[in-house]
Amino acid sequence: MKNSPDNVSPKTSQPAVKEGVAKPAASRRPSAAFMKPMTPSPALAAVIGSSPQPRTEITRLLWAYIKQNELQDPQNRRLIRADEKLKPMFGGQPSVNMFELTKLVNQNLSEPPPALSAPA
């Protein structure tokens, strides 16, 4: 093995990472698209309410409803069982995979109507 400088890793010939030196944490901001208020369909509104809310809040409320009513399948936790309120949103299916849930939520959201400007 040839002599390598102290600051280069012998296996990768990349500068070695110094221990104890932390990178500054990058500030993470949510995407504006996720924070835009969306209007839920009547089927989704029966579960989370009818006021326009950001997708992140809608997802949080939907999961709170699922957990509160114990709708996750105990054997396969990826499956969400439909109750009477969720069945219309699930298209009549008795259960859906949690990965399908995002698609179903998106199908039940729409842009809120533009606010009418008040006369001056």
Which structural domains are found in the chain, ordered by start?
48-110 (1.10.245.10)
Q: Report yes or no: 80 and 101 within 8 Å, Cβ to Cβ.
A: yes
Query: What is the model's pLDDT at position 104?
Result: 93
Query: What is the model's pLDDT at position 17?
Result: 58
What are the C-alpha distances in Å from 4 to residues 9, 12, 14, 21? 8, 11, 11, 22
Query: What is the model's pLDDT at position 89?
Result: 92
- The model's pTM is 0.67
- The two tokens of residue 61 are 């409320």
Query: What is the model's pLDDT at position 117?
Result: 46
- The two tokens of residue 86 are 């969720």
pLDDT-flagged residues of the chain (< 50): 117-118
Query: What is the model's pLDDT at position 5?
Result: 56
Query: What is the model's pLDDT at position 119?
Result: 56
Query: What is the model's pLDDT at position 106?
Result: 92
Query: What is the model's pLDDT at position 33?
Result: 73
Contact partners, residue 40, CB within 8 Å, separation at least 6: 48, 49, 50, 52, 53, 58, 108, 109
